[in-house]
Amino acid sequence: MNAQLTYEELATLMKSGAGITVDPSEMAGRPGSAFDEYGLDSLGLLGIVAALENRYGHPLPVDADRCRTPGEFLDLVNNTLVTGA
């Protein structure tokens, strides 16, 4: 699969899945800032992981919901999508 998850899509998922409004350009500018700085907790991230698994039709790595930052999460998700692992 050649898709890449973007900060814009992540912000949309945070809004739809956890009710949190985040500026994607702020996340892109601070990829190492913690999810909890944006108000996203582990349960919210788990919901985003589930939504992505449904969208792409295969599971993400078991540690996807343990990512602490948007940058770390996007790297993990996009590497998984590229390799299909």
Output the pTM of the full model: 0.90
**Segment 2-41, tens digit of pLDDT:** 578 999 999 999 999 899 999 999 999 999 999 999 999 9
**Segment 41-81, tens digit of pLDDT:** 999 999 999 999 999 888 999 889 999 999 999 999 999 88
> What domains does the chain contain, in order, with CATH numbers?
7-78 (1.10.1200.10)
| CA gap 6, 4 in Å, rounded | 6
Phi-psi region of 19 (alpha: psi -120 to 50; beta: other; left: phi over 0): left
The amino acid occupying position 48 is I
